[in-house]
């Protein structure tokens, strides 16, 4: 459906470099990355609003790299909404459309879903940022374009409504099968909506895959860090056992057992990481689950940061394996577990992690 081949675009000192992506028909494709990574520039290239310096953009097999935006006939929701100030909401949605009578029912349907029907007679100056954003989304949806481009479409909408609209958008996508390219920096939003995700960092695509692969199998440290793998540590491979599907990584004062990964040899310097929620606190007197027995550590809680529904615990190994670091692992647990386990700064605890939750990369990758 949409193919970007070796696409590059220069904006001042920023370079969007060698972008290769493929979006299938009917796919909900998200370009995910931090602020300033080039997401909007890339979407504007696809929309035809920005000239590319190299490469090719294909749509349905046709080279559209130099076709003006009005002839691409894509529906586009930019970050700044672009509503006409002299038209009310209803007129803004219908502006430029043919066969207005035929689409009024669809306008009303989407207006109900996005909760803007009561705003039809208001002018843009009378709307909040979130209301303007919802109007812009509805205006794009009613056009039934073959490609829908969304630039941070929920960024100005309150969290409670935003999450409801994610699920509504997912239902709309399943119902109509429109191909969507959506950009965001929000991990939860990307996971909720997407079929496939491309991670864009500093103008380069670091990973493109199905959403579960991106979230749970990052290809390098850069992606892992952005995806929330806070425990990123350095060590050296001490043992490799392909038959038993394990590697042993030696750190300064302790060892970690990981799954076997191809491409490593004994003595290699590596980096490995694990999500904070994958490190489990063991309860005294309870048998340890088989999946957690490979990596068990005793130590103390050095610090705690509460986040309302969860707590971040900073854990330091004590006794055999004690390091010179301020803390060794960052752990995230639900608030109710923190209370139930009667935890506090200074508490002595044991923690464990599944070897299959650990990802290993060559140093510097």
How is 24-57 classified by DSSP, letter by letter?
-TT-EEEEE--TTSSHHHHHHHHHTSS--SEEEE
The pLDDT value given to residue 97: 79
The pLDDT value given to residue 212: 95
User: Tokens standing for 68?
Assistant: 């003006």
User: Above 80 in pLDDT, residue 106?
Assistant: yes
Position 252 confidence tier, pLDDT thresholds 50, 70, 90: confident
Fold of 2-225: Rossmann fold (3.40.50)
The pLDDT value given to residue 213: 95
User: Above 80 in pLDDT, residue 364?
Assistant: no
How far apart CA 154 and CA 129 sit, in angstroms, is: 10
User: Above 70 in pLDDT, residue 321?
Assistant: no
10-24, 28-42, 147-161, 223-237: range with lowest mean pLDDT: 147-161
How far apart CA 56 and CA 39 sit, in angstroms, is: 17
Using CA of residue 148, residue 150, residue 156, residue 158, what is the dihedral sign? Answer: positive
The pLDDT value given to residue 95: 86
- The torsion defined by the Cα of 42, 214, 191 and 10, in degrees rounded to 10, comes to -10
3 state SS of 148? strand
Range 227-239 average pLDDT: 93
Range 155-184 average pLDDT: 88
Is the model's pTM score more than 0.85? yes
The pLDDT value given to residue 37: 95
Residue 176: count other Cβ atoms within 10 Å of its Cβ: 12
Q: In what side-by-side order are the strands of the sheet with 14-23?
A: 14-23, 2-11, 54-59, 62-63
Secondary structure letter of residue 202 according to DSSP: T
The pLDDT value given to residue 324: 79
User: Above 70 in pLDDT, residue 365?
Assistant: no
Could you tell me the residue ranges of all domains in the chain? 2-225, 229-362
Residue 80 or 289, more confident: 289
User: Above 90 in pLDDT, residue 290?
Assistant: yes
The pLDDT value given to residue 160: 82
The pLDDT value given to residue 133: 84
Residue 25: CB partners within 8 Å, gap ≥ 6?
1, 179
**Span 301-315, pLDDT tens digits:** 999 999 999 999 999
Mean pLDDT (the chain, rounded): 92
* Correct CATH for 229-362 of 2.40.50.100, 2.40.30.10, 3.40.50.2000, 3.20.20.70: 2.40.50.100
Q: By percentage, how much of the chain surpasses pLDDT 90?
A: 71
For residues 240 and 201, the answer to whether their CB atoms sit within 8 Å is no
Range 329-336 average pLDDT: 96
**Span 111-145, pLDDT tens digits:** 988 889 999 999 999 998 888 888 988 898 888 78
**Span 2-52, pLDDT tens digits:** 999 999 999 889 999 999 999 999 999 999 999 999 999 999 999 999 999
| HSE-CB of 199 using CA atoms within 13 angstroms | 23
Q: How many residues does the chain have?
A: 365
**Span 196-214, pLDDT tens digits:** 999 999 999 999 999 999 9
For residues 78 and 105, the answer to whether their CB atoms sit within 8 Å is no
For residues 231 and 221, the answer to whether their CB atoms sit within 8 Å is no
User: Above 80 in pLDDT, residue 99?
Assistant: no
């Amino acid at each position: 459906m949409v193919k970007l081949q070796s696409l590059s675009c220069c904006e001042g000192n920023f370079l969007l470099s060698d972008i290769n992506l493929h979006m299938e028909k009917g796919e909900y494709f998200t370009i995910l990355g931090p602020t300033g990574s080039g997401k909007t520039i890339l979407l504007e290239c696809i929309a035809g609003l920005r000239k590319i310096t190299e490469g090719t953009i294909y749509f349905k097999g046709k080279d559209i790299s130099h076709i003006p935006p009005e002839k691409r006939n894509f529906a586009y929701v930019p970050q700044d909404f672009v509503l006409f100030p002299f038209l009310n909401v209803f007129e803004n949605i219908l502006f430029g459309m043919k066969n207005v009578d035929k689409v009024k029912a669809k306008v009303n349907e989407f207006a109900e879903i996005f909760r803007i029907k009561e705003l039809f007679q208001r002018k843009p100056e009378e709307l909040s940022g979130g209301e303007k954003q919802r109007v812009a989304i509805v205006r794009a949806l009613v056009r039934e374009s073959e490609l829908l481009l969304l630039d941070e479409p929920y960024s100005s909408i309150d969290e409670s409504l935003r999450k409801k609209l994610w699920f509504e958008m997912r239902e709309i996508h399943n119902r109509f099968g429109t191909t969507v390219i959506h950009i965001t920096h929000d991990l939860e939003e990307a996971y909720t909506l997407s079929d496939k995700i491309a991670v864009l960092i500093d103008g380069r695509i670091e990973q493109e895959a199905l959403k579960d692969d991106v979230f749970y199998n990052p290809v390098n440290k850069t992606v892992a860090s952005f995806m929330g793998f806070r425990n990123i540590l350095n060590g050296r491979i001490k043992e490799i056992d392909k038959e038993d599907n394990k590697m042993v990584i030696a750190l300064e004062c302790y060892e970690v057992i990981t799954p076997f990964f191809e491409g490593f040899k004994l003595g290699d310097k590596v980096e490995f990481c694990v999500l904070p929620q994958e490190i489990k606190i063991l309860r005294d007197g309870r048998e340890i689950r088989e999946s957690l027995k490979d990596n068990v550590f005793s130590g103390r809680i050095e610090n705690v940061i509460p986040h309302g529904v969860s707590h971040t615990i900073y854990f330091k190994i004590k006794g055999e394996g004690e390091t010179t670091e301020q803390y060794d692992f960052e752990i995230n647990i639900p608030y109710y577990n923190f209370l139930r386990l009667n935890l506090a700064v200074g508490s002595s605890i044991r923690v464990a992690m599944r070897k299959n939750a650990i990802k290993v990369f060559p140093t510097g990758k």
